[in-house]
A and B are shown apart, each in its own frame.
Chain A
Amino acid sequence: MAEFGISAGHFVAVVWDNSSPVEALKDLVDKLQVLTGSEGRVSVENINQLLQSAHKESSFDFILSGVIPGSTTVHSAEILAEMARILRPGGCLFLKEPVETTVVNNSKVKTASKLCSAMTLSGLVEVKELEQESLSPEEKQSVQEHLGYQSDSLLSVQITGKKPDFEVGSSSQLKLSIATKSSPSVKPALDPAAAKLWTLSANDMEDESMDLIDSDELLDPEDLKKPDPASLRAAPCGEGKKRKACKNCTCGLAEELEKEKSREQKSSQPKSACGNCYLGDAFRCASCPYLGMPAFKPGEKVLLSNSNLHDA
């Protein structure tokens, strides 16, 4: 028992079938319960009910199947896969199964190697044959009864398998180091033959007949993708166009904006020096009638024609 490695706190499943003597099963369960203690748990499952029970994945540290003395349990691929599923990563399966030693086609009883590969295919790793022993007359009888199979070349084999250290569907980042040379001096020397070829080619720029590679072939499907439209938007910024007063505003917009701002934290206010909006468009406020016209000298008469006043 101790050879299974079961100890306190472990969750163990004992799988039995009709071939398992009831007394022996009870015996095993009791012993396991002592081992696992109050923190652990021992579940008992009939092999034919296992799939229906639909245990949560990664529920058990150990599964013991067909190990009850006298059992002649045969494990199907489905059962093995289910066992692998409900084992936690790193958990162990111990099973015992009668196997054929001679190759018989379409036999209900597998050979030992077939059994091992069945376990591997169901997702278990470190599949190892622990021991083989011959069947007792009762066990041989049991095989005949429960499996309807008779043969003189049967053996009983004990095999162990482990669930890998990761659960199905888990992911982990690969550490790829993209070699960026940290110093310019760590560069291979330029091969003189390569340098010569390059030089010869570069000195013959006019030659149109040289073969070119197809540059389209350099691109992979990622390159052909267009950027996600959401990535092309600027960060949203409050109102649309900001109303701005010119530095020397005389039209009253500056005062209005100042009233609006006075509720918020103080920020830089435009100077309210007296002056005309003779400065260019860069300094004019949004409602200035001179917008669109060049700067002019203060005091210079600028006639606003009708078209100025009606312009969009």
Chain B
Amino acid sequence: MPLPRLLVLFGSQTGTAQDVAERLGREARRRRLGCRVQALDSYPLVNLINEPLVIFVCATAGQGDPPDNMKNFWRFIFRKNLPSTSLCQMDFAVLGLGDSSYTKFNFVAKKLHRRLLQLGGCAVLPVGLADDQHDLGSDAAVDPWLRDLWEKVLTLYPVPPGLDVILPGVLLPSKFTLQFLQEAPRTCFEDTQARVDPKGPPSELQPFLAPMVSNKRVTGPSHFQDVRLVEFDITGSGISFTAGDVVLIQPENAATHVQRFCQVLGLAPDRYFTLQPQESEISCPAQLPQPCSVRHLVARYLDITTVPRRSFFELLACLSPDELEREKLLEFGSAQGQEELYEYCMRPRRTILEVLCDFPHTASAIPPDYLLDLIPPIRPRAFSIASSLLAHPSRLQILVAVVQYRTRLKEPRRGLCSSWLASLDPGQGPVRVPLWVRPGGLAFPKTLDTPVIMVGPGTGVAPFRAAIQERVAQGRIGNFLFFGCRQRNQDFFWEAEWQELEERGYLTLVTAFSRDQEQKVYVQHRLQQHGPLVWDLLDRQGAYFYLAGPL
């Protein structure tokens, strides 16, 4: 008799909802239920009407918006032409992740729940509303909701006779097995990372390997922050963008970290393996070549410098052969240990690699088969595009502030993508960076004479530079930029460019240098001072007003 099949669909922006969805998948497997876990936009919606039991795990992002990997689903599910009996075969439940400091708290989950009812679905539970503002975070709502869910699900699909529920301490089979090859394969597939499928513009599954043209520091040498202007050559990529659009960059781990990781786990970086899913419902990640080297897996795929979640410790405990370490890992994975875990891990932003170094006996005993269960994939980072194709054809520029800060850990915390980009020097040899473009949140007016007011302190000015370049190329005046930074001679990005445009009559620039004088002057002070002008622009001339950056 085939196992009853549960479908878990998630919409996740930062990976938290995905983590909860995967936890659901594991708990389902413990209860002997077949379970598929997929991002909403990866699931063929045409099959949804045939699904008997679906759990939706959805974060709310931005201003009450759905996360990127459920945007297509969101546009679909509200279509007026969907019949109200479409989902009459479906039992469902919706679990939302959100933050109640936002007005539109968990709007995505709330709306989805209602819409599914409207389409004829039957809710087995009230909508779950997890809240980051709770002292104990989302778990405070997720834990009891899951308990109720399983109670309900087990009445619908009891554990088959003769089988038991697999207890939490017992290890589940890994999602994949890594079949190691004796020798390296003849041809190296991975360096030609471009997938043999040139249909359509570059995307997450097939990024464009853009040559880096230049990588220049644009902040003064004594300034505390390293900010780079990075330029890429996108000739022949099929990439097109307009001002306000965003570029996504897929970073990789630093060589020193890769080395350390392999050392601690006892992995040979130059060995190759093929990846095999252990269940028919699991598919191999498309980003991994087959066969794949350990070095590639650790450098390009496994996010070893991210801060681990509770589920990491739960799984690691099951894998630990050392009594002392296992006990501590169990504690960190337990509901009672969450406060301790927060102090140990989340507050100081301790990375997976650092945790593994703290648990050496466990780390060296991790079976490679479990690597993809344990460590999430590296997520791409988004940057506002800072140039216009009309001013720099075939080029794409971004402004990158290198993230570096201290917590109580000895080693300073570093941004993965910004540090990686900063380390690349096209002067030393060809450098290629995987990237693709997606539409951004800023849309500039189509009408020719609508003025535009842009307030962009610091790196927030990046999309406005693209907009101004675009508008100037189209002959549009009426560009008003309020720019703020610390010191005129330290971080006044594009000072010469603005000056030239002002002389040519295309730009009105108002600056605020917060530390050039005794009292702090910020863009909001300047806006106040220019109140009458701003008001006239908005009220009489119908100007558009934009805000971006650290405010």
A residues whose Cβ falls under 8 Å from a Cβ of B:
180-184, 187-188, 190-191, 193-195, 197-199, 201-203, 205, 208, 210-213, 215-216, 218-219, 223, 226-227, 231-234, 241, 247, 279-283, 291-295, 308, 311-312
Contacts and interface: CB of A to CB of B under 8 A. Distances in A.
A15 to B, nearest CB: 54
A215 B78 CA distance: 7
Contacts of A208: 75
Nearest to B45: A202
| A-B complex: 10 closest residue pairs judged by Cβ atoms | A280-B358, A234-B135, A202-B46, A194-B83, A218-B114, A212-B78, A211-B80, A202-B45, A232-B134, A215-B111
B115 interface: yes
A219 B107 contact: yes
Given A205-B45, A282-B344, A293-B410, A227 B156 contact: no
B147 interface: no
B39 to A, nearest CB: 15
Given A184-B53, A212-B80, A215-B78, 19 more contacts: A180-B122, A190-B49, A194-B83, A197-B81, A202-B44, A202-B45, A211-B81, A212-B75, A212-B79, A213-B80, A215-B115, A218-B110, A232-B134, A280-B357, A282-B328, A292-B409, A292-B410, A294-B410, A312-B408
B124 interface: yes
A247 B324 contact: yes
A280 to B, nearest CB: 3
Contacts of B348: 292
A301 to B, nearest CB: 16
Contact of A291 (B83, B88, B134, B408): B408
Contacts of B88: 187-188, 190-191, 194
B344 to A, nearest CB: 6
B136 interface: yes
Contacts of A291: 408
B358 A279 contact: yes
Nearest to B115: A218
Nearest to B122: A181
B328 A283 contact: yes
Contact of B81 (A184, A188, A191, A201): A201
Contacts of A223: 107, 110
A122 B366 CA distance: 81
Contacts of A193: 83
Given A197-B81, A198-B86, A234 B122 contact: no
Interface of B: 44-46, 48-50, 52-53, 72, 75-76, 78-83, 85-86, 88-89, 91, 100, 103, 105, 107, 110-111, 114-115, 118, 122, 124, 129, 131, 133-136, 140, 152, 155-157, 324, 328, 332, 343-344, 348, 350, 354-355, 357-360, 408-410
Given A203-B46, A279-B358, A292-B410, A219 B83 contact: no
A18 B449 CA distance: 91
B358 A226 contact: no
Contacts of B52: 184, 187
B514 to A, nearest CB: 26
A283 B324 contact: yes
Contact of B359 (A202, A227, A280, A311): A280
A194 B82 CA distance: 8
A244 B312 CA distance: 23
Nearest to A226: B100
B135 A294 contact: no
15 contacts: A180-B152, A184-B91, A198-B49, A198-B82, A202-B46, A210-B80, A211-B80, A211-B81, A212-B79, A213-B80, A232-B135, A279-B358, A280-B359, A283-B358, A295-B357
A199 B47 CA distance: 8
B110 A191 contact: no
Contacts of A231: 134
Contacts of A188: 85, 88
Contacts of B136: 234
Contact of B343 (A201, A241, A308): A241
A210 B81 contact: yes
A292 B110 CA distance: 42
Given A226-B100, A232-B134, A183 B80 contact: no
Given A198-B46, A232-B133, A190 B79 contact: no
Kindly name the residue among B53, B79, B328 whose own CB sees the greatest number of chain A CB atoms within 10 A. B79
A198 B51 CA distance: 13
Contact of A198 (B75, B83, B115, B350): B83
Given A197-B81, A247-B324, A281 B86 contact: no
Contacts of A203: 46
Nearest to A195: B49
A109 B10 CA distance: 75
A219 B114 contact: yes
Contacts of B140: 232, 234
Contacts of B124: 180
A144 B332 CA distance: 94
